[in-house]
Chain A
């Protein structure tokens, strides 16, 4: 039988050393990421408003992926709209599965350690596939440009990740109360003129190679052909740095 529930503080007797100890997660890391969570929520709401689907991945701790999906699909607060979110539980080759599932305009949320090589391979392809990418990063500090939005959450299962995606859900629904802001001035790349990257070039994934030193690539989710005459042999799945229709370099990927 449960004891009655007193509101006053219960005297602690013979408490376990850990049960009453300090929290594993004290919120400090996430407080630093509050601004990033805000901009991520704005971008996320805009993608949803434009018809995007959110794909949720957490290969090392798949329960996070499922939790994010259920949070958005079946809101705990009545009256909030259901949003398309789906967990991808593929630890074997997440790149292949996500590539197959996504459409340009979709969102990819990843919970994982920033130094996970497979997650890096996935996130680096986000721009090429036309995705908004959000990384809730555990472990060591991630490269800032590994995803469109990077929020550090501490160790993956110490509570920071859960809090971060709860906040992402809450803030996204606040953005929905501002219809005027849902049509975002998101910069887009068109033809040879790239608004976001100007002359720095874009990272694209090779779809297939042709005989005359050209390759079909995906750029922002659209197929284009690029000249590969100045790079080494390329194959489907490779990442290329491209500018003005010319592949400048083959991107070396660890793993």
Chain B
């Protein structure tokens, strides 16, 4: 079947997005075709603005409007603790909890030689350089609990400890409000090993 070229172009572009397949892309494209031109215009402008107005924070590589992100420039935050995460999206997740008042550092991924990601591809040098420009007493490692994340955590700990800075890792265990019987064995196993005094 031949699809009109402008439509095919939109379908192709949309299906490049994560978790969007050919069928979803087609549905979205057809929806856009039916949508009022002003609304489509707004969407297009919003997308362009996203790229033009946002940048990565010079200090922590969080998403930011200014050179320094809202968290880094907020004087009320605890300035001696840095929480290291893989992606800016992780900051959003942690911020929602309102439990953490320190600073962040976005690595931009985890070590994965298989996909060609080595230490030089991550913002590790930038993290280390913060130790001399800021007064840091603790680094919290909040990377994904998979093999790449674990390995990266080991790697960071090895680099940070010589600076005399405390290195911690967020706890792994059972999700709140869930049932132990429904959790998978690996999670329960780790929760038991990482048990705490009460």
A and B interact physically: no
